[in-house]
């Protein structure tokens, strides 16, 4: 009788430790949370009979998953992976453990194992969003982007009336003779070429200074006698944006989440306010060189191509080949480019109609671009060496390459955190 009472007390105490650990973790007090998770697990020995074996297994699995998540936060990922493995040894059908360990294996570059755990999770629970998100990334990093696109078109078409865009062929290549050169700059007429340069600001991640500094950086590096810039900011809050500059603020109306706000670039309402030639630039971008020739060359090529973006091949944050990165987008704002099947307006309109279904499978807007725009042209081909990623510079003492015109900051540090000596001169 005495042992049974002790077992009951131990079970109750373990539950208390587990609940407190979860509360501490939710408040980012990870070290204390770990201590309580460890204490809870220590009380639930395999041979104790304070709770039924099934209930015990579920509780131990849950506690181990919670502890593993805390270990990830404490940057002890190898221990976290071990803890997830222990959770799966208790319950091999624990979807949370399968999804979480796939994410950690992905970070470690163990892509095949990560995919196996993802697929197991989806076999058990086919509608697990996080597993679909992970699988999209894993397949692309394995060089199986076309497989990911085929897979998710099949899933979307099984649930919606969305028509898959027809591939218009391979990505368009810019020949060496067409790459950025003074000759292309001479395409300008007597009047300056008008270009809309657009950014998107939502939430509080970036302050208004990011808008103002991007605007000033663009304007400093454009010859206004050849290229006229109309700077536009799509935003949910225009308060504080420098009124002394010529910045047109357009309110975001779509109630999108995060980077999906960029889809509003292609809404009919926004398109009606933009110039024929448009260039979108992420806020966490620093302009370090002349943009005049680049804008003129983009306009010249946009008369024959659909859209430009960046390629993922040389980006440290992407770790994949052959994909799209939308830190920079250039497009021709014409009705033929907006209305055709698989055109830019379809990128937006299908999201409006099917947002919940699409985002139950697709986490990144860039993956949606890859699905909707089978063939594009890459900015890097037009301006070799002109677009660089800050993270790639750090290994070279952060010196700017001679041809650099634009520096992207997709990861930390962001421009306000970065320490390169050239940043104060260009980000101001």
CA 386 to chain centre: 22
Per-residue pLDDT tens digits for 5-18: 445 577 789 999 99
Whole-number Å distance between alpha carbons of 50 and 12: 9
Q: Nearest 5 degrees, angle CA 286-CA 292-CA 298?
A: 95
pLDDT confidence tier of residue 316, bands split at 50, 70 and 90 = confident
**pLDDT computed for residue 49 by the predictor:** 53
Closest to 69 measured CA to CA, from 102, 44, 95, 100: 100
| Cβ atoms of 328 and 280 closer than 8 Å | yes
Q: Taking each helix axis from N to C terminus, what angle separates 95-107 and 111-124, rounded to the nearest 10 degrees?
A: 160
Any idea what the Cα angle at residue 288 is, between residues 279 and 261, rounded to 5°? 35
Bridge partners (DSSP) of residue 187 are none
What's the confidence (pLDDT) of residue 5?
40
**pLDDT for residue 1 is more than 50:** no
Which residue, 330, 232, 215, 328, is CA-closest to 272? 232
Predicted confidence band at 48 (pLDDT cuts at 50, 70, 90)? Answer: low
- Report pLDDT for 306: 83
* CA-wise closest residue to 15 among 46, 48, 51: 51
Q: What percent of the chain has pLDDT over 90?
A: 78
Please give the Cα distance from 296 to 180 (Å, whole number): 9
pLDDT of residue 56: 85
Instruction: Quote the Cα angle for 264-267-268, to 5°.
Output: 160
The answer, yes or no, to whether residue 329 has pLDDT greater than 90, is: yes
For the ranges 143-157, 241-255, 309-323, 359-373, the lowest mean pLDDT is seen at 241-255
CB-count exposure of residue 259 (10 Å: 0-12, 13-18, 19+): middle
Taking the CA atoms of the chain, what radius of gyration do you get in angstroms? 26
Structural domain boundaries of the chain? 2-159, 186-426
pLDDT exceeds 70 at position 315:
yes
- Indicate the pLDDT class of residue 180, thresholds 50, 70 and 90: low
Which of the four pLDDT bands, split at 50, 70 and 90, describes residue 2? Answer: very low
Judged against a pLDDT cut of 70, whether residue 39 lies above it is answered with yes
- State the average pLDDT for the chain: 90
State the chain's maximal CA–CA distance in angstroms.
98
* Pairing label, strands 377-378, 406-408: unpaired
Q: So what CATH class is 2-159?
A: mainly alpha
Q: Please state the rounded mean pLDDT for residues 412-421.
A: 94
Is the pLDDT at 138 greater than 90? The verdict is: yes
Q: Are 292 and 280 in contact (CB under 8 A)?
A: no
Distances (CA, A) of 265 to 35, 234, 357: 48, 8, 21
As a whole number, mean pLDDT of residues 194-214 equals 96
Q: What is the pLDDT of residue 188?
A: 47
- Cβ proximity of 348 and 267 under 8 Å: yes
Q: In angstroms, what CA-CA distances link 36 with 63, 81, 97, 295?
A: 10, 19, 19, 58
Q: Give yes or no for a contact between 313 and 379, defined as CB atoms under 8 angstroms apart.
A: no
For the packed helices 129-141 and 111-124, what is the interaxial angle rounded to 10 degrees?
A: 150
Looking at the chain, how many residues does it have? 428
Q: What is the CATH number of domain 186-426?
A: 3.90.550.10
The Cα-based distances of 129 to 108, 133, 297, 363, 385 in angstroms read 21, 6, 41, 9, 37
Which SS3 state, helix, strand or coil, does residue 191 take? coil
Q: DSSP for 18-54, please give it.
A: HHHHHHHHHTT-HHHHHHHHHHHHHH--TT--SS-HH
Hunting for tokens 């959770």 — which residue is that? Answer: 87
CB 309 within 8 A of CB 328: yes
Contact 329, 308 (CB under 8 A): yes
**Cα(333)–Cα(303) distance, rounded to whole angstroms?**
10
Q: What are the pLDDT digits (tens) for 70-106? A: 999 999 999 999 999 999 999 999 999 999 999 999 9
What pLDDT does residue 11 have? Answer: 78
Strand partners, 230: 196
Q: Give me the pLDDT at residue 4, please.
A: 44
Phi, psi of 224, rounded to the nearest 5 degrees: -65, -15
- What gap in Å lies between CA 144 and CA 132, rounded to an integer? 15
pLDDT at 186: 45
Centre a 10 Å sphere on the Cβ of residue 26 and count the other Cβ atoms it contains.
9
Residue 395 has pLDDT above 80, yes or no: no
pLDDT at 163 over 80: yes
Q: What is the mean pLDDT of residues 392-403?
A: 81
**Which pair of structure tokens corresponds to residue 84?**
């997830």
Please give the average per-residue pLDDT across 390-409, as a whole number.
Answer: 87
Q: What is the pLDDT of residue 53?
A: 78
Mind listing the pLDDT tens digit for each residue in 276-292? 999 999 999 999 999 99
Which pLDDT belongs to residue 387? 97
């Amino acid at each position: 009788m005495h042992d049974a009472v002790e077992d009951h007390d131990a079970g109750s105490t373990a539950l208390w430790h587990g609940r407190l650990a979860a509360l501490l973790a939710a408040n980012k007090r990870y070290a204390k949370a770990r201590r309580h998770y460890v204490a809870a697990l220590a009380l639930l020995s395999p041979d104790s009979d304070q709770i039924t074996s099934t209930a015990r297994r579920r509780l131990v699995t849950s506690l181990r998953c919670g502890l593993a998540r805390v270990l990830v936060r404490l940057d002890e990922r190898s221990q976290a992976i071990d803890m997830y493995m222990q959770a799966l040894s208790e319950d091999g059908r624990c979807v949370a453990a399968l999804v979480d360990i796939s994410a950690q294996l992905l970070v470690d570059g163990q892509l095949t194992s990560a995919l196996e755990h993802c697929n197991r999770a989806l076999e058990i629970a086919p509608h697990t969003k996080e597993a679909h998100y992970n699988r999209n990334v894993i397949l692309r990093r394995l060089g199986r982007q076309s497989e990911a696109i085929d897979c998710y078109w099949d899933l979307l078409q099984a649930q919606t009336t969305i028509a898959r865009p027809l591939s218009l062929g391979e990505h368009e290549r810019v020949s060496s003779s067409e790459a950025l050169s003074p000759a292309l700059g001479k395409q300008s007429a007597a009047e300056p070429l008008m270009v809309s340069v657009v950014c998107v600001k939502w939430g509080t991640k970036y302050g208004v200074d990011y808008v103002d500094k991007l605007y000033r950086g663009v304007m400093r590096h454009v010859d206004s006698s050849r290229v006229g810039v109309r700077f536009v900011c799509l935003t949910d809050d225009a308060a504080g944006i420098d009124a002394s500059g010529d910045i047109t603020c357009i309110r975001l109306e779509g109630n999108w989440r995060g980077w999906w706000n960029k889809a509003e670039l292609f809404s009919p309402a926004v398109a009606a306010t933009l110039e024929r030639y448009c260039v979108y630039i992420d806020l966490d971008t620093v302009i370090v060189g002349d943009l005049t020739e680049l804008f003129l060359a983009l306009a010249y090529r946009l008369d024959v191509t659909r859209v430009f973006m960046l390629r993922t091949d040389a980006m440290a944050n992407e770790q994949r080949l052959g994909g799209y990165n939308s830190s920079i987008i250039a497009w021709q704002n014409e009705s033929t480019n907006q209305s055709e099947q698989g055109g830019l307006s379809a990128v937006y309109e299908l999201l409006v109609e099917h947002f919940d279904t699409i985002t139950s499978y697709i986490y990144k807007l860039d993956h949606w671009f890859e699905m909707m725009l089978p063939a594009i042209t890459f900015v890097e081909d037009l301006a070799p060496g002109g677009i660089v990623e800050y993270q790639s510079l750090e290994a070279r003492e952060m010196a700017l390459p001679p041809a650099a015109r634009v520096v992207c900051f997709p990861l930390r540090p962001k421009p306000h955190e970065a320490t390169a000596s050239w940043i104060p001169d260009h980000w101001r």
